[in-house]
Amino acid sequence: MPSRSQSASPTPSDISGAVAEDLALYREKFRLRLPESLDDLHGPTQGVVELPLHMAWSGMTSYDMSKPRQRMGLYRTVLHEGLRDDLPRYLNQDLLLQLWPVLRTLVGRTVRAVWEDAFPKLASRTRAAA
């Protein structure tokens, strides 16, 4: 009777290596989108902002900047879904710095780490607010 080939089960070290590689790729995806400087962020601070579908694919596309929850939702969406050219167009440096102590708790750990590593000013805002 011919022997049946069995596929080897991945070992825990194989799995942890794959997970680490996936996390590194995920982190790099966000790092490559970052602006050169926070000074590049000149997005709107008032009015109604309409996001394109490539960012607002799963929900609201229109955000009223006078409403704190909508403003926070806009920033969260842009940080997660925005491409490199979107960030300067939709984010404003002063508003990002103002919102960051709360916003950082609403974005994923990877997004938070990438932004705070690249822009220590954000991390210092968090410590100052505490």
Q: Given the structure tokens 């602006």, which residue do they identify?
A: 35
Task: Name the pLDDT band for 27 (thresholds 50, 70, 90).
Answer: confident
Report the distance separating Cα 91 and Cα 45, nearest Å: 8
Query: Tens digits of per-residue pLDDT, 88-113?
Result: 999 999 999 999 999 999 999 999 99
Neighbours of 2 (CB within 10 A): 4
Task: Name the pLDDT band for 128 (thresholds 50, 70, 90).
Answer: low
- The whole-model pTM stands at 0.79
Give the pLDDT confidence score for residue 3 in this predicted structure: 47
Report the distance separating Cα 54 and Cα 57, nearest Å: 6
Diameter over CA atoms, the chain: 76
Q: Which amino acid is at 10?
A: P
